[in-house]
Amino acid sequence: MDYKDLYRSWLESPALSGAERDELQAIRHDEKEIESRFFAPLQFGTAGLRGVVGMGVNRMNIYTVRQATQAIANLIRSLDETAKKRGVAISYDCRINSREFAEEVSSVLAANGISVHLFDEMRPTPELSFTIRHLRCIAGINITASHNPKEYNGYKVYWEDGAQVPPEEASVIAKEMEKTDIFTGVRRMPFDDAKKSGLVRMIGSEIDEAFLENVMKTSVNPDCVKAVADDLRLVYTPFHGTGYKLVPEALSRLGCRNIRCVEEQMIPDGTFPTVKSPNPENKEGFALAIELAKKENIDLIIGTDPDADRIGVVLRDPAGEYNPITGNQLGVLLIDYLIRAKKKKGTLPKNAAAIKTIVTTEMARAVCERNCVSCFDTFTGFKFMAEKIKEFEETRLYSCIIAFEESYGYLIGGHVRDKDAVTAAVLITEMAAYYKAKNMTLYDALNRLFETYGYYQEYTINTVMPGVDGLQRMQRLMDDLRANPPSTIGDTPVSRVRDYLSGHARCLASGKTEALEISGSNVLYFELSDKTSFIVRPSGTEPKIKTYILASAKTKEDAQEKVRRYTEAAAELIK
């Protein structure tokens, strides 16, 4: 059935409401829009589904949500009765239709005889990861599109360890979705009936309290916060999202007395009315926070994305200007602080390790090596970091003190298995207090690290390739780069190419190949002769190719020049 036939079948389906049918009727003369919605179903990827909200197989709607949930129910039912009783924890964020989708998920699971633990209100993503572990659930489902634009929503699946669903189970879910008719193949019962049956149990503040108790245990030296509590002032914004309750509460429990919240952005709202993008990577979203910080003469601004798994920081420089630091820089600051603080407290494990992704700054490795801490690489995504942490726990060879990625995600502590902005906010604030007591800001601390380790600068280029044509372009581009790797990039020779799909690296000069420690991800990693890394990979959640430039030099100016040169080269290479 081609996309036109699929479109007509939806129009004729008795399952649709009048409003849903009207939405599809409205695009009947828009061939491109019909193709976009029906050319292929949303793919169940590494963690679940994500897409624009609307009618169609390539959109987030109650039908795609029900189909995915039935597939998960089939997997759980194939296990044993205990799995059904352990149940599924469900949370959701502030986005459009998130509550409705969460109730639909609950209705389908209940109809399949599976217990459900549904949050009474929206909650941060890391709290769901915690809840799965705390309640010993078999799985968890979170309705969120993280920091994507307001038009998006998503469906993120977790497994019993609180990490994103493993590849084997994800594959089963994807196959079950293919076998399940989106309209007639789903079991469901009315949500109110599901609650009355006892299969859906509402959870709330009791889980918040247990989660916060574990968050506070990650603090290494809370006394340093109390020592400067009167002078330490910060601004916080949740960007209209789920961090609005727990982040201020956690910081208050840490001992902070002067937390200024951006009131306009403390109101949960999935349309994100005060920001163009609810992404803490973008400075524009911090405009109101910076305005407040200037009025209050504040050094530190913290912002969490809508589902409170990512966190961004804005610092005031010596000239009085407010600028964000990168996810890489914040990660290096945290690694350095955790090592310092744990050494001072005598709590740094002898087998301490940090985990980062292959596209994350190599400065983290430099800090670790100087302090005799091991540093490990994984593919992009916290599911891979969670697998590494699980490996550490099973072998007891290493103890993870932090896992992080360049895109503003940090995992500290053993209570969750995904990035956690609530816990990160606590450690960032404690770190700021530590330096405050030394009459230093985090800006000063970062510059001291550059003086010690050299200047590292990273830059990510996002080349958007939307629609059916975009997917094909991305595939052609990766195929071409893999078959014909460039011998130079920006006039600098390529010394070695790592192909993480095949799991092999090849020296261009000698032709010699060797196996990589990890494999199976569509990533090409070009090592340049000047020690710069030039990395290309398709995004796993958005229609774009991501190019990462990881440069280092003895001076800031030289590092910036490298980034500029390779950014120009990327524009020629990635088309």
Tokens of residue 165, six digits: 């669903």
Beta strand segments in 419-501, E: 455-464, 488-489, 492-499
**How far, in Å, CA of 559 to CA of 552, rounded?**
5
Surface-to-core class of residue 395, CB atoms within 10 Å of its CB (0-12 exposed, 13-18 middle, 19+ buried): exposed
Q: Are the beta carbons of 270 and 96 closer than 8 angstroms?
A: yes
> Which residue shows structure tokens 């403390």?
266
In angstroms, how far is the first alpha carbon of the chain from the final one?
Answer: 32
Rg (alpha carbons) of the chain, rounded to whole number = 24
Give the residue from 312, 497, 501 showing the smallest Cα distance to 408. Answer: 312
Q: What residues does 405 pair with on adjacent strands? A: 409
What is the residue type of 505?
Answer: A
Phi and psi, residue 295, nearest 5°:
-65, -35
Q: In degrees rounded to 5, what are phi and psi of residue 164?
A: -60, 150
**Spatial separation of the C-alpha atoms in residues 401 and 399, rounded to whole Å:** 6
Q: Would you state the structure tokens that stand for residue 503, as one six-digit string?
A: 């799991």
| Catalytic-labelled residue, pool 106, 129, 146, 219 | 146
Asked whether 227 and 218 are in contact (CB, 8 A), the reply is no
The single-letter code of the amino acid at 475 is: Q
Q: In 195-270, at which residue ranges do the beta strands (DSSP E only) sit?
A: 200-203, 233-237, 258-261
Task: Report the Cα 195 to chain-centroid distance in Å.
Answer: 31
Letter for the amino acid at 286? F
Cβ atoms of residues 443 and 318 within 8 Å: yes
Give the up-direction half-sphere exposure of residue 564: CA atoms within 13 A in the CB hemisphere.
Answer: 6
Closest Cα to residue 299, out of 322, 282, 332? Answer: 322
Reply yes or no on whether 502 is catalytic. no
What is the distance between the alpha carbons of residues 309 and 154, in angstroms, rounded to a whole number? Answer: 14
Q: Which long-range contacts (CB under 8 A, 24 or more apart) does 287-290 make?
A: 288/237, 288/262, 288/264, 289/235, 289/236, 289/237, 289/262, 289/265, 289/314, 290/314, 290/322
Token look-up 């969750």 returns: 416
So which residues are the catalytic ones?
Answer: 146
